C-alpha cells in the first residue's frame, strides 16, 4: 500500500522560504511509471498544481508559471522522498499543501495528508 | 492554460436519488492514445482529495459502482446513481492532458 507522509513547518515568515518534504512508502521516487507532484489549496485560489518531478531515464521537473521563478521540486533517492521549496513567500502563499503521486493517465491516485502553511510575521 | 468550468457549484440532494455534476474544458482533452485525460476527485470534509474517475470514465480502485463518468467532446459528466450519506463533500474535475494541470472550481454536494 502506497503512502505519502508530509513534514515541514506550519508557519513561515514573509520573504522566507517554505520547505516541505514528502516521504514515500510502498513505491519509489525513481518509479518510471509515476510522477511526484505538489498541489496547494486555498479559499481564494482553489486547488492549484505547483509542480512535479519524475524519472524516465533521467530526471525531469515541470512547474506552474505562476510560481516558476520561486519554486523547486527535488527528488531525494537516498531517502525515497521528494521536496518542495517556495522562495520569497507572501501571505498569498498561505494554503494547505499536498504532495501527490500521479500514475496512469496522470491520475492523482495517492495524496499526502496535507500541511496547512501560514505565511505571517 | 486549460480552463475547467464546473456546474453547479452547489448541489443539494436526497439520499437514494441520483446526482449529476458537469465539467467543461476550454479545449479538447483527447490524448493521442485515444483517452480523454479528465479526472474526478472527491474531497470529503477534513480530508485530502481522493481519486474517483480517471481518463474520463474509468473508476479508480475501490470506488463504488454508483459513480460513473462520461464524455462528450469537451463536456464531462460525473453521475452518482443513488446518493449515499458518505458521498457528501466537494467534487472536482481536473484536466490531466498537459501541465499546468488545472482544476474546476468544485461542486459542493450536500444532503
pLDDT tens digits, one per residue of A22-76? 999 999 999 999 999 999 999 999 999 999 999 999 999 999 999 989 999 999 9
- Residue A64 CA to residue B29 CA, distance in Å, equals 19
Render pLDDT for B10-39 as a digit per residue (tens, 0 to 9).
999 999 999 999 999 999 999 999 999 999
Residue pointed to by grid coordinates 454536494: B109
Render pLDDT for A73-105 as a digit per residue (tens, 0 to 9).
999 999 999 999 999 999 999 999 999 999 988
Asked whether residue B84 carries a pLDDT value surpassing 90, the answer given is yes
Across the interface, whether the CB atoms of B51 and A107 are under 8 A apart is answered yes
**Do A4 and A102 meet the contact criterion of CB atoms below 8 Å apart?**
no
Other beta carbons within 10 Å of A70: 17
Across the interface, whether the CB atoms of A114 and B48 are under 8 A apart is answered yes
Cβ contacts of B101 on chain A, cutoff 8 Å: 37, 49, 106
pLDDT band at B104 (very low <50, low <70, confident <90, very high): very high
pLDDT reported for residue A27: 97
Nearest by CB to B48, which of A48, A52, A113?
A: A113
pLDDT band at B103 (very low <50, low <70, confident <90, very high): very high
**Do A97 and A117 meet the contact criterion of CB atoms below 8 Å apart?**
yes
By a Cβ cutoff of 8 Å, what residues of chain A touch chain B? Answer: 37, 46-49, 52, 62, 64-66, 98, 102, 104-109, 111-114
Across the interface, whether the CB atoms of B106 and A47 are under 8 A apart is answered yes
Helix, strand, or coil (residue B94): strand
Residue pointed to by grid coordinates 470529503: B44
**Do B103 and A47 meet the contact criterion of CB atoms below 8 Å apart?**
yes
Helices then strands, counting H and E runs in chain B, come out as 0, 11
Across the interface, whether the CB atoms of A98 and B48 are under 8 A apart is answered yes
Total beta-carbon pairs less than 8 A apart between chain A and chain B: 61
pLDDT reported for residue A4: 98
pLDDT reported for residue A105: 87
Asked whether residue B53 carries a pLDDT value surpassing 90, the answer given is yes
Across the interface, whether the CB atoms of A49 and B100 are under 8 A apart is answered yes
Mutating which of B46, B99, B107 best tests the A interface, going by the most A Cβ atoms within 10 A? B99
Amino acid at each position: 500500500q502506497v503512502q505519502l507522509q508530509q513534514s515541514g513547518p506550519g508557519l513561515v515568515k514573509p520573504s522566507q522560504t517554505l520547505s516541505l518534504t514528502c516521504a514515500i512508502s510502498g513505491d519509489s521516487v525513481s518509479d518510471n511509471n509515476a510522477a511526484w507532484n505538489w498541489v496547494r489549496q486555498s479559499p481564494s485560489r482553489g486547488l492549484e498544481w505547483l509542480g512535479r518531478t519524475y524519472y524516465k531515464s533521467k530526471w525531469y521537473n515541470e512547474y506552474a508559471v505562476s510560481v516558476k521563478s520561486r519554486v523547486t521540486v527535488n527528488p531525494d533517492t537516498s531517502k525515497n522522498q521528494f521536496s518542495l521549496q517556495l522562495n520569497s513567500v507572501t501571505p498569498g502563499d498561505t494554503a494547505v499543501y499536498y504532495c501527490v503521486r500521479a500514475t496512469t493517465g496522470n491520475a492523482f491516485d495517492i495524496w499526502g495528508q496535507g500541511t496547512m502553511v501560514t505565511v505571517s510575521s | 492554460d486549460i480552463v475547467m468550468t464546473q456546474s453547479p457549484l452547489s448541489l443539494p440532494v436526497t439520499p437514494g436519488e441520483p446526482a449529476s455534476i458537469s465539467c467543461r474544458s476550454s479545449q479538447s482533452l483527447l490524448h493521442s492514445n485515444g483517452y480523454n485525460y479528465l479526472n474526478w476527485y472527491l474531497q470529503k470534509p477534513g480530508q485530502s482529495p481522493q481519486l474517483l474517475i480517471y481518463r474520463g470514465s474509468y473508476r479508480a480502485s475501490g470506488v463504488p459502482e454508483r459513480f460513473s463518468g462520461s464524455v462528450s467532446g469537451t463536456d464531462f459528466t460525473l453521475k452518482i446513481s443513488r446518493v449515499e450519506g458518505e458521498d457528501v463533500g466537494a467534487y472536482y474535475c481536473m484536466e490531466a492532458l498537459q501541465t499546468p494541470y488545472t482544476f474546476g472550481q468544485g461542486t459542493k454536494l450536500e444532503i
